[in-house]
Homo-oligomer: A and B are copies of this chain.
Amino acid sequence: MYKAVTNLLAERGVTLPQIAEVVLEIQKGYYPELTIEECLAGVDAVVRKREVQHAILTGVALDVAAEKKQLPEPLQSIVASDDFLFGVDEIVALSITNVYGSIGLTNFGYLDKTKPLIIGKLNDHKGGACHTFLDDLVAAVAAAAASKIAHSRRPMDND
């Protein structure tokens, strides 16, 4: 399933290294020595989680159906126009954001609003592509990876 998910992301124009760049962007202020490799490892760990894979598969399926105009109305128009009163994309992304705890919420919201790097490109809506769900999914994966990095840099004393 991991391969199915990364292939699907690639088809939709998103690679894991691109998501890692977003993670580096938001975390380098806190960890100056953070490397793109560590960010990529974090993104990879997030995308290996079943909950995350299910959210990506579902969200992208809705984006693709909207592009093909296969959704029933009024949903077709709502998704195709990325109506900002539509919040199902945020809710589906929330199930990703939370896999490393609720501290991911803040970075998710920040990325969803400022749309840096690949997230901004997805939001261009160029060439008829619909990424209503995908931009939130990518922001959520980046936010979860940032949380994972933050947690892993503070070892727990489990005893």
| A binding-site residues for B, Cβ under 8 Å | 1-4, 8, 48-51, 54-55, 57-58, 61-62, 64-65, 70-75, 78, 84-88, 90-92, 94-95, 98-103, 105-114, 150-151, 154, 156-159
Chain B nearest CB: distance from A47 CB in Å? 10
Question: Cα distance A54–B105 when bound, in Å?
Answer: 16
Question: Cα distance A150–B50 when bound, in Å?
Answer: 12
Q: For A98, what are the chain B residues with a Cβ–Cβ distance below 8 Å?
A: 95, 98
Question: Cα distance A121–B54 when bound, in Å?
Answer: 26
With contacts A98-B98, A109-B112, A109-B113 known, is A103 near B74, CB below 8 A? no
The reply to whether B106 and A113 contact each other, CB–CB distance below 8 Å, is: yes
The reply to whether B48 and A158 contact each other, CB–CB distance below 8 Å, is: yes
Q: Which chain B residue lies CB-closest to A136?
A: B106
Question: Cα distance A64–B113 when bound, in Å?
Answer: 32
The reply to whether A57 and B84 contact each other, CB–CB distance below 8 Å, is: no
Q: For A113, what are the chain B residues with a Cβ–Cβ distance below 8 Å?
A: 106-107, 109-110
Q: For A64, what are the chain B residues with a Cβ–Cβ distance below 8 Å?
A: 72
Q: For A55, what are the chain B residues with a Cβ–Cβ distance below 8 Å?
A: 88, 91
27 CB-based A-B contacts, threshold 8 Å: A1-B157, A2-B157, A4-B73, A50-B151, A51-B102, A54-B87, A57-B72, A57-B74, A58-B88, A61-B62, A61-B65, A61-B71, A84-B103, A84-B150, A85-B101, A85-B151, A87-B95, A87-B102, A87-B103, A90-B102, A92-B92, A98-B98, A99-B101, A105-B108, A108-B109, A109-B109, A110-B113
